[in-house]
Structure 1
Amino acid sequence: MSTFARRRIIQDLNKINKDQNKSFEASPFANNIMCCHAIIRGPEDTIWECGIFHLIINFSEEYPVSPPKVKFISKIFHPNVYADGNICLDILQNQWSPIYDITSLLTSIQSLLNDPNTSSPFLLGIFFFF
C-alpha cells in the first residue's frame, strides 16, 4: 500500500543515505516502513561525545502532517529524556511542521543533547517535586 506518508518516509530516508551524514543514520525495519531504527552519535565536545544512541521512530499515516513518535532505546541520562526513553522536544509536540523531515528531527534531537531545554515540562516537574 503506497500512501503519501510512506512515500515521504522513503524520500526522507533516501535523503539521509544520499547525504551520508556521519552524525546520524536511519533505516526502516524490513517488515514495516512505518517504524525506523535511528542512530545518533553524541555531539563533539559534550559528555555524550563518544556515545552511540539508538532510537525508534514510529510514523502514523498522517506523517508529515503529524509528528512521529520518537523514543530512545539506549539508556541516556538527560534532562529532556524521560526514563522510558520518551523525549521532551517542542517539535515532537506543539511545534511540529510538515516541513520537518527525519533529518531535521534527528538534528534537533542531537542538538538537544548539547543544549538541554531548561524550560521543559519534564524539568519543571522535577523541580516542583523537590
Structure 2
Amino acid sequence: MATVSNVNHQDNNPNTNTVAAAAPPVSSAKQTLPTAKTVDTQLQSELMALMMSGDAGISAFPEEDNIFCWKGTITGSKDTVFEGTEYKLSLAFPSDYPFKPPKVKFETGCFHPNVDVYGNICLDILQDKWSSAYDVRTILLSIQSLLGEYRKMVEKLYKPTA
C-alpha cells in the first residue's frame, strides 16, 4: 500500500512505497478592479451605444466634465398611466463599474410603489441581480418597463369581485 506524503521530493529508495505529492499551487492573482481609464472607456462606449440605439423615450448624458455622473430622461410608454410624462434621473457610477451597479434615482417626483419619496428605485437589477453585462441602456429600459408594470400591479391589487 502506498502512502502519500506532502514532501516535494521523490524517494529514490526502491524498498519504500512512499509517493511524493506536490503541494497544490497557490494562486496569488486576485480579480483586479478596473482603473478609472477603463471605466471611462466603458462609459464612453455605452454612451455611444445608447445614442445609436434609437430607443424611444430614454436618453442619458454625462454631466459636464464628469463621466461618472450622468443625467437621464425617461418618458412614460404609450398605454400606461405614465404615458408622455417625462422623468429626470441621476446616475452615479462607482469606480468599480461595471462590476457594481450605478446609483440611480428619480430627480423628479414619481408616484410608484417601487420608488420611495427620495427617488430611490427598488429594482432587482440595480441591487442583488446586477450583472456586469448590463449597461446604461438596459438600466433605462428596465426602469421604463417598471413604470409600465404599474397598471398591472394596480389591476392585480384591485381586481373587481363578482
Shorter-normalised TM range: 0.7 to 0.9
Mapped to 1, the partners of 2:58 and 2:76 lie a distance apart of 9
1:52 corresponds, among 83, 86, 110, to: 86
Residue 37 of structure 1 aligns to which amino acid in structure 2? K
Is 1:78 matched with 2:112?
yes
- Long gaps (5+) in structure 1: 119-130
Hey, what's the Cα distance between the residues in 2 that align with 1:35 and 1:18? 20
Task: Give 5+ residue unaligned stretches, structure 2.
Answer: 1-34, 154-162
The CA deviation at 1:90 is: 0.2
After TM superposition, which residue ranges in structure 1, 4 or more long, deviate above 4 angstroms? none
Q: Distance in 2 between matches of 1:114 and 1:22?
A: 14
Structure 1 counterpart of 2:47: 13
Q: Secondary structure at the match of 2:45?
A: helix
> Larger C-alpha radius of gyration, 1 or 2?
2
Letter in 1 for 2:72: A
Shift in Å, 1:6:
1.2
Given that 1:3 and 1:61 are in contact with CA atoms closer than 8 Å, whether structure 2 keeps it comes out as no
Greater relative CO (CA pairs within 8 A, separation 6+): 1
- The one of 63, 68, 72 equivalent to 2:97 is 63
Q: CA deviation at 1:43?
A: 1.1
- Count the aligned residue pairs: 118
TM-score by length of 1: 0.86
- Structure 1 counterpart of 2:22: none
**Which residue of 1 is the match for residue 147 of structure 2?**
113
